[in-house]
Structure 1
Amino acid sequence: MFGAEIYIKAENLQKTGSFKVRGAFNKLMKVKTGKVIAASMGNHAQGVAFAASEVGIKAKIVMPLNASIAKQEATRGYGAEVVLHGETFSDALNYAISQKDYTFIHAFDDDDIITGQGTIGLEIINELQDIDAVLVPVGGGGLISGISIAIKNLSSETEVIGIQTVSALSAYESFHSKKIIETMPMPTLADGIAVGKIGSKTFAIMQRYVDDVIKVSEESIAMAVLLFLERKKLVVEGAGAVPLAALIEQKERFRGKRIVLVASGGNIDFALIDRIIHKGLVSSGRIGVFKVIVDDVPGGLHKITGIIAAQRGNILNIVHDRLYQDVPIGKTLVIFTVETKGQRHLEEIKDAVRVTGFSIL
């Protein structure tokens, strides 16, 4: 599909569903106190909860109010106490830090956490040679920091490229401005990397070892989640799908190269997955939505549905809007939702509709 040799580091299949368990274990094996606290959107929460239960430490996890319900319940399932606080990750983080009776376990800006995540880089290099680029999701920077240290010390010619969503750009802005910039994350499919401020330790490491940070659209993330499901039968959450989204958007940049995509997690909220899949289908043209003005008379709709059927389009839904502005009396706006083979097929259907004299808005 992309003219490249592509490998997937499937951390979505990791225990707790993401790479976070690596850093959590590395940190908690060194903790001397009997209870720890962490702030997380969900994956770090599960990693700390599981690691704490394994080493016999009490864990409290602070999550923002909008954290995925599935991730909240999974964290409780691993034995941790879950506290919901604040609207953003930063709110949850500040609250967790203020709890002085606990040992705080940072999600990314910690040497032991970074080292634990770096084992991914070691495993990549142990299994593959002559890698041109490793594409890594970036939120606070812990994952890419650990991976980049390992990769650059063992394979200096390999590019390490961070990927962020356009909805949370602190690492992207900071990397390119060469100073830490805090941003306000917007709603995103990639909630696992919706971090408003990159860490100070991770920023310094990225400046030294990371080659580039690029941003991808929410539409491409949805397409990537769908592509993982369809082509590889892998459930990958939005944050874990951003490397594939980058490949979708910058296909020519990686053509002919040997690429590793770090699929960082698979803890997708199944209450949202139908919407993500639908968004991916729309973004790829597999589902098309278009508006047509037709005569509001018996048989007016039949002609256009016949055109769509002749082009082998499958009509999923039809909505009439007679009150739409600028629609003359005697006409109606009809909104079609059509299943197609892809973007080219959708355009062929639209062209066939236009040729018969209908106007598509």
Structure 2
Amino acid sequence: MNQLTLDKFEEAYERVQEVILPTNLIQSDFFSQTTGNKVYLKPENLQLTGAYKIRGAYYKISTLSEEEKQRGLITASAGNHAQGVAYAARKFGVPATIVMPVSTPLLKVNRTKSLGAEVILHGNVYDEACDKALELAEEHGYTFVHPFDDLDVATGQGSIAMEIVKELPTVDTILVPVGGGGLATGVSTLAKMLNPKIHVIGVEPAGANCLQASLRAGAVTTLDRVDTIADGTAVKTPGENIFPYLQENLDDIITIEDDELIVAFLDVLENHKLLVENSGLLTVAALKHLPAENKKVVSILSGGNMDIITLSSVVQNGLIQRSRIFTVSVRLPDVPGQLNKVSGVIADAKGNVIKLEHNQFISVNRNSSVELIITMEAFGEEHKKSIIQALRNAGFEPEERNPRALY
């Protein structure tokens, strides 16, 4: 437990200044008002590589011998560590190979390649990619740079805690995302060194809660499977080397459902104009799980590398969750003018139709009824209810449908 020292953290803090951008805390009036605490955001999504991972990767590689560097570097990553290693390798003038899961968003793959690294896609989750990277390291003699289970990497990540405490010395709580645990190790360990009263809470996806399972078991535990949209934290097994530090310094674990991340995405984008990936939103979603105690809470936004297809899906599903997009079906007699009547009711209620499906074959007797499925926009839950009521008042009997299957 004495391998992570204050001297090492201070060295890492100074060294990473060579490559990082300043990510000053953003005081959030919106989240403060909605949660009952004084909320600050730490926007690591604004780093050069779009995530905090550049800190640990750069510091780790800076500690390697010339012989270790020249053998070539290899790592496994779901995307953000990949870019950190690729960037650092380019700065030090050494080759790097990155093994990434085949499900890695295209944006992260292309950005890693653009930084000069060779990318190999292997496995469905990080753990399978890591096994392949270790196999290649053994075969070719590469120097393996672990994305989280490495004390030097964790030390580099801890520079975030140094910045938080320097800027906000009276911070009460730090929320930190957890995948394998490297960021949580660095942040929680240094935070406790600087001020033991700081409460540090790890936040995991409910579908990849490997650290929570391990802490409960009192030993590193491997999940049978992971299932989460937070791809950057989709890890089956936390780090063995860093686990004792997590046991010692993390005060609690909060788990977040995927639906909560979708709402958090819209909240951050609309209120702070920040694009944050799903893993980086874990700490934002966790804000609603904290008691309203007027505490100073820092939420670490760990990254912002989200591809356009994922972004589109999250926005669409977020609008559905907020009742800003919804779908109803109505039965109409198959006579002229009925569609015009329905659209008039919706227009008067200030609804905006974005999709129609007119099915004349819902019944054998077309003179009896046809089905009209309408997907439309509303301002929110109350407006949606008023549109549905307007349809009822006009003599229609709207039934809500699942827009996910129709839009």
Question: 1 CA distance for matches of 2:260 and 2:73?
Answer: 37
Secondary structure at 1:319's aligned position in 2?
strand
| Equivalent position of 2:192 in the other structure | 152
Cα shift readout 1:159-181 (whole Å, capped 9, x = no counterpart):
21122223322223323443333
Change (3 A) 1:104 1:342: same
| Equivalent position of 1:190 in the other structure | 230
Change (3 A) 1:291 1:79: same
Q: % of aligned pairs identical?
A: 38
Secondary structure at 1:271's aligned position in 2?
helix
| Equivalent position of 2:171 in the other structure | 131
- Picking from 108, 120, 138, the partner of 2:148 is 108
Cα shift readout 1:282-341 (whole Å, capped 9, x = no counterpart):
122222223333334333333333332222222211223455699997323332222111
| Equivalent position of 1:279 in the other structure | 317
**Corresponding letter in the other structure for 1:360:** E
| Equivalent position of 1:342 in the other structure | 380
| Equivalent position of 2:246 in the other structure | 206
Question: 2 CA distance for matches of 1:309 and 1:113?
Answer: 57
Kindly indicate whether residue 259 of structure 2 is the aligned counterpart of residue 219 of structure 1. Answer: yes
| Equivalent position of 1:360 in the other structure | 399
Question: 1 CA distance for matches of 2:365 and 2:301?
Answer: 48
Which shows bigger deviation, 155-164 or 350-359?
A: 350-359
C-alpha root-mean-square deviation of aligned residues, in Å? 2.2
1:10, distance to aligned residue in structure 2 (A) = 0.7
Cα shift readout 1:57-89 (whole Å, capped 9, x = no counterpart):
211111111211111111111111111122221
Secondary structure at 1:163's aligned position in 2?
strand
Kindly indicate whether residue 296 of structure 2 is the aligned counterpart of residue 253 of structure 1. Answer: no
**Corresponding letter in the other structure for 2:226:** P
Question: 2 CA distance for matches of 1:328 and 1:144?
Answer: 63
Question: 1 CA distance for matches of 2:343 and 2:246?
Answer: 55
Contact 1:327-1:333 at 8 Å conserved across structures: no
Question: 2 CA distance for matches of 1:306 and 1:212?
Answer: 54
Tell which structure's C-alpha radius of gyration is larger: 2
- Unpaired runs of 5+ residues, structure 1, are none
Question: 1 CA distance for matches of 2:145 and 2:317?
Answer: 35
Which shows bigger deviation, 234-243 or 117-126?
A: 234-243
- Picking from 82, 88, 111, the partner of 1:45 is 82
Contact 2:151-2:242 at 8 Å conserved across structures: no
Change (3 A) 1:151 1:82: same
- Picking from 264, 281, 293, the partner of 1:241 is 281
Secondary structure at 1:291's aligned position in 2?
strand
1:126, distance to aligned residue in structure 2 (A) = 0.7
Change (3 A) 1:304 1:98: same
- Unpaired runs of 5+ residues, structure 2, are 1-29, 401-407
Change (3 A) 1:124 1:315: same
Which shows bigger deviation, 253-262 or 296-305?
A: 296-305
Change (3 A) 1:178 1:321: farther
Question: 1 CA distance for matches of 2:346 and 2:330?
Answer: 12
Change (3 A) 1:304 1:109: same
Question: 1 CA distance for matches of 2:365 and 2:114?
Answer: 55
Kindly indicate whether residue 40 of structure 2 is the aligned counterpart of residue 7 of structure 1. Answer: yes
| Equivalent position of 2:6 in the other structure | none
| Equivalent position of 1:141 in the other structure | 181
Change (3 A) 1:180 1:304: farther
Secondary structure at 1:95's aligned position in 2?
helix
Question: 2 CA distance for matches of 1:210 and 1:299?
Answer: 65
Contact 1:316-1:338 at 8 Å conserved across structures: yes
Which shows bigger deviation, 33-42 or 208-217?
A: 208-217
1:51, distance to aligned residue in structure 2 (A) = 0.5
Question: 1 CA distance for matches of 2:63 and 2:279?
Answer: 28
| Equivalent position of 1:305 in the other structure | 343
Question: 1 CA distance for matches of 2:218 and 2:91?
Answer: 40
Kindly indicate whether residue 357 of structure 2 is the aligned counterpart of residue 316 of structure 1. Answer: no
Question: 1 CA distance for matches of 2:128 and 2:258?
Answer: 24
Question: 2 CA distance for matches of 1:275 and 1:327?
Answer: 38
1:349, distance to aligned residue in structure 2 (A) = 2.2
Question: 1 CA distance for matches of 2:329 and 2:252?
Answer: 41
Contact 2:42-2:300 at 8 Å conserved across structures: yes
Question: 1 CA distance for matches of 2:204 and 2:349?
Answer: 39
Question: 2 CA distance for matches of 1:360 and 1:61?
Answer: 50
Secondary structure at 2:336's aligned position in 1?
coil
Which shows bigger deviation, 161-170 or 41-50?
A: 161-170
Question: 2 CA distance for matches of 1:58 and 1:38?
Answer: 12
Contact 1:139-1:198 at 8 Å conserved across structures: yes
| Equivalent position of 2:92 in the other structure | 55
1:260, distance to aligned residue in structure 2 (A) = 0.9
Change (3 A) 1:120 1:301: same
Contact 1:220-1:280 at 8 Å conserved across structures: no
Cα shift readout 1:231-251 (whole Å, capped 9, x = no counterpart):
11111111111211222x43x
